[in-house]
Amino acid sequence: MHLERRVLISGGAGFLGSHLSERLLSQGCQVLCVDNFFTGTRRNIEHLIGEKNFELLRHDICQPLFVEVDEIYNLACPASPIHYQRDPVKTTKTSILGALNMLGLAKRVGAKIFQASTSEVYGDPSVHPQPEEYWGNVNPIGPRSCYDEGKRCAETLFFDYRRQHNLEIKVGRIFNTYGPRTHPNDGRVVSSFIVQALTNRPITIFGEGRQTRSFCYVSDLIEAFVGMMATPREVAGPVNLGNPAEFTIAELATQIIELTNSRSEIINLPLPQDDPQQRRPDISKAKKLLDWEPKVGLTEGLTKTIEYFEGMIAEGLVQRVHAPT
């Protein structure tokens, strides 16, 4: 009989997956990192290769996978508009076919399974902050819908597997998360602003920068993942996972300029279609069910993330930056 928990992480070479791999290895788990490297990179997990409890498998979860595991964290999916709009059909297939394959695996081997859902299921919300009971305001045919509706359908599949097959599921809705190993060129606002500031290029803001976001540091989010997987069987979610502190995009840009001592100027670009104007989680359920709330403040988290990107720039690994989302 095995003593260590055998854990599969789909998207394990991505930003969140690599941090989760480290966290689970520190607990003594056996970690199977599964990734097709569509957006994940070997650099994120190369320091783990050679660890006795870490295994890397190149695989696309749009295809079935037959392994023996106790737990599954389904994180695989491009998560930034630049990446998920590059191949929107593939994004939808990863969300839906990938979910079906991971759910099928969990059903076959009796594993419990965590779904990395997203605050994008709320769309451009008309309720603020967003509680889990809010059904959202999503454009089903817009340029963001491959991701938004893909993740919404994945949640449907998870809860149908729970009702129909009595599968133990955990669904977490992730709000904006940042930290080391964020892709430097994925167009996300924190990484884009930091790289622009460190290279003294103009910081690009959509609209006037009055739209708001809530930023959760990666270590806080990973603790929420682990905490949710450890909840009793009846706790399925969905549960909002994010930092409820709310900032305008303009405030974020100003703080990053100050922390980097940058000479960057701020320039404004037109707002993209369906860009949410407000985004802040109601984390009452997470506090109650997981006994969890974020601990890392924005200044502390930005400082750690800036150090990471300074290292990437020094190594010549950062070139150009897309306008941020």
* Cβ count near 185 (within 10 Å): 16
Nearest to 94 by CA among 19, 38, 28: 38
Backbone angles phi and psi of 88, in degrees to 5: -60, -35
Q: What is the four-CA torsion angle of 93, 97, 99, 100, rounded to 10 degrees?
A: 170
Catalytic (active site) residue 122: no
Helical H runs in the chain?
Answer: 15-26, 42-45, 81-84, 88-109, 145-165, 189-198, 218-229, 249-260, 284-290, 298-314
Question: One of 73, 84, 122, 147 is an active-site residue; which one?
Answer: 147
What residues contact residue 230 under an 8 Å CB cut-off, 6+ apart? none
Gap between the Cα atoms of 259 and 281, Å rounded: 26
In this structure, is the dihedral angle defined by the CA atoms of residues 275, 242, 115 and 284, taken in order, positive or negative?
negative
Shortest CA distance to 44 belongs to which of 69, 20, 24? 20
List active site positions: 147
